Structure 1
Amino acid sequence: MEAQLMELARTAGSAVVTLMATDAWERTRDGVVALWRRASPSRADGVEGELDATRDDLLAAREDGDDLTEQELREEWVGRLRRLLREQPEVAEQLRLVLAEFDPDSRETRAVTVQMRAEASGRGRVYQAGRDQHIAER
């Protein structure tokens, strides 16, 4: 297996397990499951259940201070992703995109083009934003 794909599997497996204990968990799970749905639809539901079970194990291990179990969970997901990439190397770019969503450095350097057009008439208002928008009117 290509060295780049091995490194991607190692990075992704570790990142997925790390993100299990964060507020980004649901988005991470959804991204990983979507990846499996594209690559191997018949296994996607099982992967979703396995991700949730791993998260439960991770949270319990952290509560107990069990670093060995946490490392084993990381290695387990590195192996799963390595096998997926070995079987279907074309999903590597999709996996990179899933990871980039949670990488602060990647988000800041990613170029985004937003084009908006709006019209308001009468007493209408238009609110547009290329990112977050918070409006508090009374």
Structure 2
Amino acid sequence: MEAQMIDLARAAGTAVVTLMATDAWERTRDGVVALWRRASPSRADGVEEELEAARDDLLAARESGDDLTERELREAWTGRVRRLLRERPEVASELRQILAELDPELQDGAPRTVQMRAEASGSARVYQAGRDQHINER
């Protein structure tokens, strides 16, 4: 059961941070804050402020090409969700439902697996992505 909670927390942390930079941001924020209001009401306002600050950080990081900040934000939100699930395991099904509504790519709270294969020869280049891809060639 613990491994499932960790996987769910990882999927949620990744989805929340990924959706911060999309048109689904407001629904994402509202869904996460509503979950915290039900599970831990005293911390919900703080979570909303932290989400907004994290989104500002993410947008600035993407603007400057800082991939490390995005990874750190994913890890931070994964940790927050994991701690919430540890304290209130009964909210796991609600979290899965929120994730499914926000990101149809998630099934049962876990991202789908994407397998890709490519071959290049000579001076050819191959670019593959399971989702968004940004290429900055110089």
User: Which TM-score band (shorter chain)?
Assistant: 0.7 to 0.9
Deviations along 1:51-100, whole A, 9 cap, x unmatched?
00000000000000000011000000000000000111001011101100
Determine the structure 2 residue equivalent to 1:23: 23
Whole-angstrom distance in 1 between the partners of 2:71 and 2:62: 11
**Contact 2:15 / 2:103 at 8 angstroms: preserved in 1?**
no
Determine the structure 2 residue equivalent to 1:89: 89
TM-score normalised by structure 1 residue count = 0.74
**Gap change, CA 1:60 and 1:35, over 3 Å in 2:** same
Runs of 4+ off more than 6 Å: none
Whole-angstrom distance in 2 between the partners of 1:39 and 1:106: 22
Letter in 1 for 2:49: G
Residues 66-85 of structure 1: pairs in structure 2 closer than 5 A:
66-85=66-85
Whole-angstrom distance in 1 between the partners of 2:10 and 2:47: 18
**Unaligned runs of at least 5 residues, structure 1:** 108-138
SS in structure 2 at match of 1:23: coil
State the identity as a percent.
79
TM-score normalised by structure 2 residue count = 0.74
- What is the CA RMSD across the aligned residues, in angstroms? 1.5
Determine the structure 1 residue equivalent to 2:45: 45
How many residue pairs get matched?
Answer: 107
Whole-angstrom distance in 2 between the partners of 1:21 and 1:73: 13
Letter in 2 for 1:41: P
Whole-angstrom distance in 1 between the partners of 2:102 and 2:84: 21
Whole-angstrom distance in 1 between the partners of 2:26 and 2:52: 10
**Unaligned runs of at least 5 residues, structure 2:** 108-138
**Contact 2:27 / 2:102 at 8 angstroms: preserved in 1?**
no
Whole-angstrom distance in 1 between the partners of 2:96 and 2:50: 21
Determine the structure 2 residue equivalent to 1:112: none
